[in-house]
């Protein structure tokens, strides 16, 4: 796939998401005359993004690169997307967000570390970093902003 094709597909996806946002915001119109309501800002931003995508499409068609687009380590990217999806689904159905977050961070870190090599030191570092991020998230969500995950 060429860079030009990738850019056009990404712009089309962004425009589709913006149109979905605009459609969803139509139900949030202001009940009183003269009030802008909750729909105005998301809709305005969506229209702005659509305009920027149109500019991007024109620029891509005018001067877009035609060489082949390659994602290095594409397999790991797909595995990461699958693991993220599994994390979200398991969080919804199983709960235990912080435990799952720790395991998720450990698995992803080790997957991306595997090509270089994994030894006991790296496992200890990965465990410590994952635990620190999980603890920080717990403190922020549970004790600072009082969100029950």
In DSSP notation, 50-109 reads HHHHHHHHHHHHHH---SBP--TTHHHHHHHHHHHHHHHHHHHHH--HHHHHHHHHHHHH
Instruction: Tell me: do 11 and 54 sit in the same domain.
Output: yes
Q: Do residues 40 and 89 share a domain?
A: no
- pLDDT of 115 > 80? The answer is no
In the chain, how many domains are there?
A: 2
Give the residue carrying structure tokens 């729909």.
Answer: 39
Q: Which domain holds residue 96?
A: 74-144
Same domain, 10 and 37: yes
> Does 68 reside within a domain?
no
Nearest to 108 by CA among 76, 71, 136, 73: 76
Q: Which of 63, 83, 112 is the last residue of a domain?
A: 63
Same domain, 54 and 96: no
**What digits encode the pLDDT tens for the residues 8-41?**
999 999 999 999 999 988 877 666 666 666 788 8
* Confidence category of residue 112, pLDDT binned at 50, 70, 90: confident
Quick check: is 69 in a domain? no
pTM for the full predicted model: 0.58
Domain match, 84 and 58 both = no
- At residue 2, φ and ψ (nearest 5 deg) are -85, 160
Q: Is residue 52 part of a domain?
A: yes
Contact in structure between 109 and 129 (CB atoms under 8 Å): yes
Query: What's residue 139's pLDDT?
Result: 92
């Amino acid at each position: 796939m060429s860079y030009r094709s990738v850019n056009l597909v990404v712009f089309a996806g962004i425009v589709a998401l913006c149109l979905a946002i605009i459609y969803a915001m139509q139900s949030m119109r202001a009940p009183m005359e003269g009030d802008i309501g909750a729909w105005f800002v998301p809709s305005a931003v969506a229209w702005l993004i659509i305009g920027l995508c149109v500019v991007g499409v024109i620029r891509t068609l005018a001067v877009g690169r035609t060489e082949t687009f390659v994602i290095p380590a594409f397999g790991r990217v797909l595995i990461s997307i699958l693991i993220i999806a599994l994390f979200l689904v398991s969080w919804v159905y199983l709960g235990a967000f912080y435990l799952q977050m720790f395991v998720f961070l450990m698995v992803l870190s080790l997957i991306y570390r595997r090509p270089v090599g994994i030894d006991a030191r790296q496992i200890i570092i990965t465990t410590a970093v994952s635990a620190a991020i999980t603890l920080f998230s717990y403190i922020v969500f549970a004790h600072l902003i009082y969100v029950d995950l």
